[in-house]
């Protein structure tokens, strides 16, 4: 019995101590929910169905409301496409996903949401009742405990289409779309998702894109920067090393390296980086591109 409980705990996506970001699909829109350790607060970012975002797996830009259905139609899965697309869109780690029924959350007449602490507890609890999730039961139970212990003032709700991160446009067919302004979105993301542990470890990074596909290195640089890390160089160039994260032994054991390894699906490899100002090197290869960008 003790062994089964330990195995159940070990299977979780979250260690219960550090920051944790996950995304919830609800009524053709999604919520990115972040528990921030140290600060002890929860930030909730609502992304409306009309918000145009770049999708993972090479689909290009689509309205957010179409992500789940597209993932199901393309046999990728609504949840995985939602997770990786929200990660690519916000340029932060997104560790888990879940889907709840639209009946579970009260909505205003204009279909917008406003979640307080009670609503967030209700939503999180109902993730236990759905099979459409990669969040484990242990993840959800720990989240419920953390949320319940917070004062209501530590639950912060943001509706993306009511921020300066974009603007509403009228399309030729008469429909409306919310178009993102990247510079404002980056400011908002840094405010909501900066990671104290990454800041404290202060590891210096270099990122190399070895396959020449435009934008790969810049995407990873943005994730590191949004978390509070520092990149001292990034390049599109041929590299003899296989894809992975290369670092010295002490750095390889760090929280930041572990987080990026899981986020980027890259193996950590111990190696002394000679003639480099960086303490860790990210090498992006075709396997990385196939996982996140190829259909």
Q: Are 53 and 61 in contact (CB under 8 A)?
A: yes
C-alpha separations of 118 from 76, 97, 152, 199, 201 in Å: 33, 20, 9, 32, 35
Long-range contacts of 50-54 (CB under 8 A, 24+ apart): 50/161, 50/175, 50/176, 50/177, 50/178, 51/160, 51/161, 51/166, 51/177, 51/178, 51/180, 52/177, 52/178, 52/179, 52/180, 53/85, 53/86, 53/89, 53/180, 54/85, 54/88, 54/89
Report pLDDT for 49: 94
What is the domain partition of the chain in residue ranges? Answer: 2-192, 194-293
Cα–Cα dist 252/197, whole Å: 15
Residue with tokens 């987080």: 259
Cα–Cα dist 193/92, whole Å: 7
Report the side by side order of strands in the sheet with 20-26.
96-99, 20-26, 29-36, 41-47, 155-159
Within 8 A by CB and 6+ apart from 113, the residues are 26, 31, 46, 105, 107, 157, 159
Report pLDDT for 101: 82
Report pLDDT for 112: 55
Tell me whether strands 268-270 and 204-209 are parallel, antiparallel or unpaired: unpaired
Please name the fold of domain 194-293.
Answer: Alpha-Beta Plaits (3.30.70)
Are 2-192 and 194-293 in the same CATH fold? no
User: Both tokens of residue 292?
Assistant: 């996140």
- Between CA 134 and CA 140, with CA 136 as vertex, the angle to 5 degrees is 115
Assigned CATH for 2-192:
3.30.420.590
pLDDT in tens, the chain (295 residues): 443 444 444 469 999 999 999 999 998 999 999 999 989 999 999 999 999 999 999 999 999 999 999 999 999 999 999 999 999 999 999 999 999 986 555 555 445 567 889 999 999 999 999 999 999 999 999 999 999 999 999 999 999 999 999 999 998 999 999 999 999 999 999 999 999 999 999 999 999 999 988 889 999 999 999 999 999 999 988 888 899 999 999 999 999 999 999 999 999 999 988 878 899 999 999 999 999 999 8
Cα–Cα dist 23/82, whole Å: 8
User: Both tokens of residue 281?
Assistant: 């090197």
Q: Are 284 and 260 in contact (CB under 8 A)?
A: no
Cα–Cα dist 96/83, whole Å: 7
pTM > 0.75: yes
DSSP string computed for 171-198: -TTS-EEEEE-HHHHHHHHHHHH--HHH
Q: What is the SS3 assignment for 44?
A: strand
Cα–Cα dist 295/290, whole Å: 8
Report pLDDT for 103: 59
């Amino acid at each position: 019995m003790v062994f089964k409980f330990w195995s159940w705990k070990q299977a979780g996506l979250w260690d219960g101590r550090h920051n944790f970001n996950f995304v919830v699909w609800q009524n053709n829109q999604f919520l990115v929910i972040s528990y921030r350790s140290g600060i002890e607060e929860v930030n909730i970012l609502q992304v409306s169905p009309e918000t145009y975002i770049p999708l993972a797996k090479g689909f290009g830009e689509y309205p957010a409301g179409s992500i789940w259905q597209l993932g199901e139609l393309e046999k990728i899965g609504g949840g995985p496409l939602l997770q990786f697309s929200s990660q690519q869109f916000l340029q932060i780690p997104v560790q888990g996903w879940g889907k709840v029924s639209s009946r579970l959350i009260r909505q205003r007449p204009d279909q917008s949401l406003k979640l307080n602490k009670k609503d967030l507890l209700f939503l999180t609890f109902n993730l236990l009742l759905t099979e459409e999730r990669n969040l484990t039961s242990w993840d959800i139970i720990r989240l419920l405990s953390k949320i319940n212990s917070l004062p209501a003032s530590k639950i912060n709700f943001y509706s993306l289409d009511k921020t300066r991160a974009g603007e509403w446009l009228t399309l030729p067919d008469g429909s409306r779309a919310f178009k993102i302004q990247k510079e404002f979105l980056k400011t908002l993301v840094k405010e909501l998702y900066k990671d104290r542990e990454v800041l404290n470890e202060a590891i210096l990074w270099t990122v190399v894109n070895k396959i020449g596909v435009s934008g790969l290195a810049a995407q990873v640089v943005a994730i590191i920067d949004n978390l509070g890390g520092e990149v001292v160089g990034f390049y599109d160039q041929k590299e003899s090393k296989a894809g992975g994260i290369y670092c010295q032994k002490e750095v390889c054991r760090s929280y930041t390296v572990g987080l990026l390894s899981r986020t980027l699906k890259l193996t950590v490899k111990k190696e002394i980086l000679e003639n480099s100002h960086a303490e860790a090197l990210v090498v992006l290869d075709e396997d990385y591109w196939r996982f996140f960008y190829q259909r």
